[in-house]
Amino acid sequence: MKITDIKTYLMQVGPRPGMPAGEGSFRGSRNWLFVKIETDEGVYGIGECSGWPRVIERAVQDVTSILIGEDPSNIDRLWHRVYAALMGHGMTGTVGGGTLTGIEMALWDIKGKVLGQPVWNLLGGKFRDTVPVYGHAKTPERARELMDRGYSAIKVGFTGGVDIDLVSSIRDTVGPNVDLMVDAHGPSWMTATDAILVGRELEKLDLLFYEDPVAPENLDALQRVRDAVDVPLAAGERVSTIWGIRPYIERDLVDVIQPDTGRAGGITQMRKMAAMAESHYITMAPHSGSLGPVAEFAALHVLATIPNALMLERIEFDWSGRYEVVSPALKSENGALKVPDAPGLGVELVEEEIEKYPSDRNVTDMPTNENAYEPGTVGECVYFQTRLRRRARLRLTQTDQN
Q: Would you please indicate which residues are annotated as catalytic (active-site) residues?
A: 185, 287
How far apart are alpha carbons 304 and 340 in whole angstroms? 10
DSSP assignment of 31-55: EEEEEEEEETTS-EEEEEE-SSHHH
List strands edge to edge, sheet with 3-12.
3-12, 31-39, 44-49
Whole-Å CA distances, 23 to 30, 160, 312, 356? 11, 22, 21, 17
How far apart are alpha carbons 143 and 295 in whole angstroms? 25
Tell me how far apart the terminal alpha carbons of the chain are, to the nearest angstrom: 57
CB 78 within 8 A of CB 7: no
Neighbours of 359 (CB within 10 A): 16
How far apart are alpha carbons 236 and 305 in whole angstroms? 20
State residue 280 phi and psi, 5-degree precision.
-110, 10
Would you mind telling me the total number of residues written for the chain in this entry?
Answer: 402
CB 242 within 8 A of CB 268: no
